[in-house]
Amino acid sequence: MDPREFDVIILGGGVVGAGTMRDCAMRGLRALLIERADIATGASGRNHGLLHSGARYAVNDPESAAECIAENQILRRIAAHCIEPTGGLFISLPEDDLSYQHTFVEACRKAGIGAEIIDPKLAREMEPSVNPDLIGAVRVPDASVDPFRLCASNMLDAKLRGAQVRLRTEVTGFIREGDTIRGVHTRNVQTGRETDYYAPVVVNACGVWGQEVAQMAGVQVGMFPSKGALLIFAHRVNNMVINRCRKPSNADILVPGDTVCIIGTTSTRIPLENCHKVSVTPDEVTLLVTEGAKLTPALSETRILRAFAGVRPLVSDDNDPTGRNISRGIVCLDHETRDGLKGFVTITGGKLTTYRLMAEMATDLVCSKLGVNKACETATTPLPGSEGRSYEELARQIWEAPSTAQKAATARLGSVVSEVPKRSRQDEALVCECEEVPVWEVNNAFERMGVSSLTDLRRRTRVGMGTCQGEFCACRAAGLLAKAQDCAARERADLLKFMGERWKGNFPIGWGESLREAEYTQWVYKHVLGL
């Protein structure tokens, strides 16, 4: 058989593409995923990391709310190592209309979300960082989710089941015969090598870029690119997700995750051609800090680590200029019935929280086209790292781990941690102190997780994501990468690129402590390392 032939080709290595690849592989299909950059480089790696309970959408978008709570419960079972069951609060402040709380709780009840009004005093006890002036609080089953881990686990599982992945490979066109798609033209963005791949069905899971990819195939999918800006704070101020109990607005969600917390977001329509180079403006930083401090006053005195922005893949509604009111619902398009184009499917819209359901819908459609009659099992089959483990069991494993690095790695890798080889005592040394990442975890990422640069490594292990932002760990990781790839020549270029990426997020918040730290980093790299 021609190695370029598959049953299904999935375009886009965000969480939806990764989930679809896994589902296809689990149903026995020979699947290929094509991603032009690395995993989770689109919206999937540029979000809050909130595992929605659905409460945020209950009033305005009940269908999405119901999807979110159903998936929230499923992901807690199948992806325990990616999720922290923090719980969430929706708080009302003196300037808010407290009567909205009842509308909100009633809408949650209808969507099947367990929302409970609690005494503000109890809310302060449960989450000491919350604004002490709050006049109302509702407890909901929100949680935090690590999107990088989720994406990587889906890809790893699919690969273990025989699926193939081509990273840094861009789809440049479609192989079309009359009214049927037969495959795709691709180009490796590093080597420039062009390759064609063939399959009877191609799935467009390119998020907001799904519009231009659909255009290449000759059909129209109208996207509404909605930019959202976020800030990461240097430590966890809160342990529960804190939301504002009002109509969704700017900077009204604060999510704790790993060692940090994230405030967001804004919502601004941007041109499609700008989606790959979004940056955060000074006005957005000011707004996020000012509004964020209303949820948790401590934010105004907490060091900001970096700013970043992502683009939501909302499906177009020209009547809503902000995008806040567009449904977060899932859009699964069969272009054969919609446009008369056979062998092409688009899956878009939705949320990180509903990625599995989106993947199931797309795979159901693929299977019906291929005449494959196999039911979806992703709702009950745990991802690698969560096999046979509830969150409580994982928490116990973390607690019992012999060192802090082992604890941190167990939290990141889940049950897979025991399979990772630790070859020597040097393997136990730390590469990244902020995130406690040992050498053996970094080497595992090189060997098993498709890492080809320091920036990829960050997405798999959190190296460089912590308080020093790569100041001390990046050069150590560069040394290990050069050794793994047997290519010392690339070490310097890769290091500069990595620090350049870190700088992009430091620049918009460059004042006070953050500016001092950035200056110090520059001195280390310039005067100690000569870069």
Residue numbers of the site for ligand FAD (CB under 6 A)? Answer: 11-17, 34-37, 41-44, 46-50, 52, 170-171, 205-209, 213, 228, 230, 264-265, 310-313, 348, 350-353
Q: Closest distance between ligand FAD and the C-beta of residue 49, in Å?
A: 6
Q: Closest distance between ligand FAD and the C-beta of residue 34, in Å?
A: 5
For residue 166, report the phi and psi dihedrals to the nearest 5 degrees: -120, 105
**Smaller CB distance to ligand FAD: residue 56 or 502?**
56
**Rounded Cα–Cα distance for residues 331 and 288 (Å):** 30
**Rounded Cα–Cα distance for residues 87 and 393 (Å):** 18
Residues 6+ apart with CB under 8 A from 236: 256, 259, 260, 261
Residue pair 90/137 in contact (Cβ under 8 Å)? The answer is: yes
The partner residues of 143 in beta bridges, in order of sequence, read 51
**Smaller CB distance to ligand FAD: residue 148 or 446?**
148
Residue pair 164/32 in contact (Cβ under 8 Å)? The answer is: yes
CA–CA–CA angle 516, 520, 524 (5° rounding): 170
Q: Closest distance between ligand FAD and the C-beta of residue 210, in Å?
A: 8
* Residue 265: cis peptide before it, omega within 30 degrees of 0: yes
**Rounded Cα–Cα distance for residues 370 and 339 (Å):** 19
List the one residue out of 242, 237, 232, 241 whose CA is nearest residue 262: 232
**Smaller CB distance to ligand FAD: residue 205 or 405?**
205
3-state helix, strand, coil in the chain (%, to 5): 45, 20, 35
Residue pair 153/114 in contact (Cβ under 8 Å)? The answer is: no
**Smaller CB distance to ligand FAD: residue 41 or 250?**
41
Q: Closest distance between ligand FAD and the C-beta of residue 298, in Å?
A: 21
Q: Closest distance between ligand FAD and the C-beta of residue 354, in Å?
A: 7
Q: Closest distance between ligand FAD and the C-beta of residue 521, in Å?
A: 26
Q: Closest distance between ligand FAD and the C-beta of residue 6, in Å?
A: 15
**Smaller CB distance to ligand FAD: residue 13 or 120?**
13
**Smaller CB distance to ligand FAD: residue 37 or 484?**
37
Q: Closest distance between ligand FAD and the C-beta of residue 511, in Å?
A: 23
Q: Closest distance between ligand FAD and the C-beta of residue 48, in Å?
A: 3
**Smaller CB distance to ligand FAD: residue 401 or 449?**
449
Six token digits for residue 355: 């990625």
The C-alpha torsion from 508 through 509 and 515 to 518, rounded to 10°, is -60
**Rounded Cα–Cα distance for residues 495 and 224 (Å):** 35
Q: Closest distance between ligand FAD and the C-beta of residue 62, in Å?
A: 17
**Smaller CB distance to ligand FAD: residue 26 or 307?**
307
Q: Closest distance between ligand FAD and the C-beta of residue 17, in Å?
A: 5
**Rounded Cα–Cα distance for residues 93 and 134 (Å):** 5
**Smaller CB distance to ligand FAD: residue 168 or 342?**
168
Q: Is the dihedral of CA 226, 232, 237, 240 positive or negative?
A: positive
Hey, is 469 helix, strand or coil? coil
**Smaller CB distance to ligand FAD: residue 266 or 444?**
266
**Smaller CB distance to ligand FAD: residue 50 or 468?**
50
**Smaller CB distance to ligand FAD: residue 91 or 208?**
208
Hey, is 25 helix, strand or coil? helix
Helix axes 473-485, 489-506, angle to 10 degrees: 140
**Rounded Cα–Cα distance for residues 78 and 113 (Å):** 20
**Rounded Cα–Cα distance for residues 106 and 100 (Å):** 10
| Burial group, residue 27, by CB count within 10 angstroms (0-12, 13-18, 19+) | buried
Q: Closest distance between ligand FAD and the C-beta of residue 46, in Å?
A: 6
